[in-house]
């Protein structure tokens, strides 16, 4: 098995930039991606893994002594894992608008020689998927065995199924929806306001100066609350206090374990993620609607040819299960080959990362069925 490494490719070079859904043009676009395993063009075995809001292309770290960084889905991708890289050729690309090697607001604008900042155009999930399609074309991959991802990654999965129905044989959207809902948009707006009200945000032109760390950290804290459930908060933290309980009555220093957890998560994200990317990608989630440009949601979903394994999470606050069930109900009425599986996990939206073992058998079986077919 070859070790994985990050690679870069430049797409949409002038005079052929990408025309975004907004009508604006963007190019050239650098894409950072990683591949795992060997591609078999005679028996298409490529699986595209799409990452969530703050993810990156490093989906697995299970390769060789030079790979010290854990992958964000090590439990899933690797030799002998659910997405077995001894059988499948796995591709994971950092999304357009990201900050882990793919062109985004922190990248250098070739017209000015400075980071784009807010001069970067607004993007959509459809734009993100168009860049991924161009990457696959460059790699010579016309067909995918499957596309899989959770959250924002699951939104990409559904966009793949609708926009490029001839490419994937199967799609596995996890804890996702075909069109984002108002409560999710509301959560995202509060997070963006936390960033934009940080005085160091400086209208998005903070590069080279102090970072809007307080704003991004606060945004992440709220985001983490939406990724969890009341049930999981009780299970993990209850009302436990760090140190002496007497201090709770003296000042506003975070002392409850749940408080210190949120602060830790906020500080950790500031070390690895760009605040403007958080703005752009959360807005892409808000704009997500696979039916845009079609007469109805039904018409859009009727374009799907792939087999579907739709996965929901019982305790998900951010993507409640009615959203996944709506997709399944419509696809069943349209005569699509669709299966629904619900994770009975208390861990909320994060369950597809925390309790992945619950869906390991159903995903293994689904992929094996695609291979046999």
CATH number of the domain that 225 lies in?
Answer: 1.10.1740.110
**Average pLDDT, stretch 222-243?**
95
pLDDT of residue 66: 52
The 10s digit of each residue's pLDDT in 309-368 is 999 999 999 999 999 999 999 999 999 999 999 999 999 999 999 999 999 999 999 999
Same domain, 307 and 275: no
* Least confident window among 5-14, 195-204, 335-344: 5-14
> d(Cα 124, Cα 162) in Å, to the nearest integer?
15
**Does 1 reside within a domain?**
no
Helices (H), 140-212: 152-163, 182-196
Domain count, the chain: 2
Indicate if 310 and 227 belong to the same structural domain: no
Examine the fold and report which residue of 283, 310, 335 is the final residue of a domain before the chain moves on.
283
Question: Do residues 195 and 157 both lie within one domain?
Answer: no
Q: Are residues 162 and 189 in the same domain?
A: no
Domain that includes residue 246, residue range = 185-283
pLDDT at 250: 83
Q: Is residue 144 part of a domain?
A: yes
Tell me, what's the pLDDT at 301? 98
Domain boundary among 283, 306, 326: 283
**Are 176 and 223 members of one domain?**
no
- The residue among 244, 260, 283 that closes a domain is 283
Q: Which helix (H) or strand (E) holds 41?
A: none
Burial of 80 (0-12, 13-18, 19+ CB in 10 A): exposed
For 7, phi then psi, to 5°, come to -125, 165
pLDDT for the residue numbered 69 = 79
Q: What pLDDT was estimated at residue 1? A: 41
Q: In this structure, is residue 228 part of a structural domain?
A: yes
The answer to whether residues 19 and 153 belong to one domain is: yes
Asked if residue 81 and residue 48 are part of one domain, the reply reads yes
Q: Is the domain of 125 the same as that of 160?
A: yes
Q: What is the reported pLDDT for 214? A: 98
Mean pLDDT of the chain: 95
The pLDDT tens digits of the residues spanning 10-44 come to 999 999 999 999 999 999 999 999 999 999 988 88
**What is the SS3 assignment for 256?**
strand
- Distant-in-sequence, close-in-space partners of 69: CB < 8 Å, separation ≥ 6: 58, 61
Report CA dihedral (371, 166, 160, 117) to the nearest 10 degrees: 120
59 and 204 share one domain? no
Structure tokens at 182: 């108002």
The answer on 12 and 101 residing in a single domain is yes
Q: Are residues 145 and 202 in the same domain?
A: no
Give the pair of three-digit tokens for residue 366. Answer: 């689904």
The rounded distance, in Å, linking the Cα atoms of 128 and 155 is 10
Q: What is the pTM of this model?
A: 0.96
DSSP secondary-structure letter at 289?
A: B
User: Active-site residue numbers?
Assistant: 151, 316, 349
Cα separation, 178 vs 324, in Å, equals: 8
- Domain co-membership, 122 together with 100: yes
């Amino acid at each position: 098995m070859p070790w994985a490494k990050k690679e870069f490719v430049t797409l949409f070079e002038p005079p052929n930039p990408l025309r975004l859904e907004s009508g604006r043009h963007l190019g050239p676009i650098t894409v950072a991606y990683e591949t795992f395993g060997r591609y078999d063009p005679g028996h298409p075995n490529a699986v595209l893994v799409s990452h969530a809001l703050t993810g990156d292309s490093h989906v697995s770290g299970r390769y060789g002594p030079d790979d010290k960084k854990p992958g964000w889905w090590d439990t899933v991708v690797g030799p002998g894992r659910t997405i077995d890289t001894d059988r499948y050729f796995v591709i994971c690309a950092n999304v357009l608008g990201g900050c882990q090697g793919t062109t985004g607001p922190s990248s250098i604008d070739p017209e000015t020689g400075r980071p784009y900042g807010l001069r970067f155009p607004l993007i959509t999930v459809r734009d993100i998927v168009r860049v991924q399609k161009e990457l696959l074309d460059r790699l010579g991959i016309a067909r995918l065995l499957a596309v899989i991802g959770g959250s924002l990654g699951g939104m990409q999965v559904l966009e793949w199924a609708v926009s490029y129905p001839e490419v994937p044989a199967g799609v596995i959207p996890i804890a996702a929806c075909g069109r984002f809902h108002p409560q999710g948009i509301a959560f995202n707006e509060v997070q963006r306001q936390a960033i934009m009200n940080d005085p160091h945000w400086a209208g998005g032109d903070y590069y080279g100066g102090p970072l809007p760390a307080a704003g991004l950290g606060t945004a992440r804290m709220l985001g983490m609350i939406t990724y969890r459930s009341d049930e999981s908060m009780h299970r993990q933290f209850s009302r436990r206090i760090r140190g002496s309980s007497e201090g709770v009555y003296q000042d506003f220093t975070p002392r409850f374990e749940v408080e210190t957890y949120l602060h830790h998560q906020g500080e950790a994200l500031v070390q690895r993620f760009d605040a403007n990317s958080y703005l752009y990608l959360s807005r892409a989630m808000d704009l997500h609607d696979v039916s845009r440009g079609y007469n109805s949601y039904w018409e859009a979903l009727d374009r799907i040819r792939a087999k579907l394994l739709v996965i929901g999470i019982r305790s998900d606050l951010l993507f409640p299960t009615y959203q996944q069930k709506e997709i399944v109900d419509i696809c069943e009425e349209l005569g699509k080959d669709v299966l629904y599986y619900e994770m009975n996990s208390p861990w909320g939206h994060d369950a597809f990362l925390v309790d992945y073992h619950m869906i390991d058998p159903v995903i293994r079986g689904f992929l094996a069925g695609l291979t046999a077919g």
